[in-house]
């Protein structure tokens, strides 16, 4: 049952990330989906994959997306 709930959270957060106009919100939702995937891996007894997913998917990728968005924003003059 927990696996099903996690899969629904993953799909919903991924869809919400795709339809966001604000890229920072999309980065946060991407991290949320990756965190749920990491929890799912832990539940499925793959702790090494869960740790890697948590570090890379839930932390590093959203931070890189947020930094890229911040660096490429147009300045209003």
pTM summary value? 0.87
Closest CA to 28 of 2, 3, 63, 56: 63
Helix (H) or strand (E) holding 56: none
pLDDT tens, residue by residue, 24-43: 999 999 999 999 999 999 99
pLDDT for residue 77: 56
Asked if residues 10 and 37 have their Cβ atoms less than 8 Å apart, the reply is yes
* Nearest Cα residue to 32 out of 73, 65, 1: 65
* Distance in angstroms (rounded) separating the CA atoms of residues 16 and 30: 9
């Amino acid at each position: 049952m927990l696996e099903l709930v996690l899969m629904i959270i993953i799909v919903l957060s991924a869809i919400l990330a795709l339809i966001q106009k604000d890229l920072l919100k999309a980065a946060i939702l991407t991290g949320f989906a990756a965190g749920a995937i990491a929890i799912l891996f832990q539940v499925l007894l793959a702790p090494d994959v869960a740790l890697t997913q948590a570090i890379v998917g839930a932390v590093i990728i959203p931070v890189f997306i947020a930094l890229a968005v911040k660096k490429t924003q147009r300045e209003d003059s």
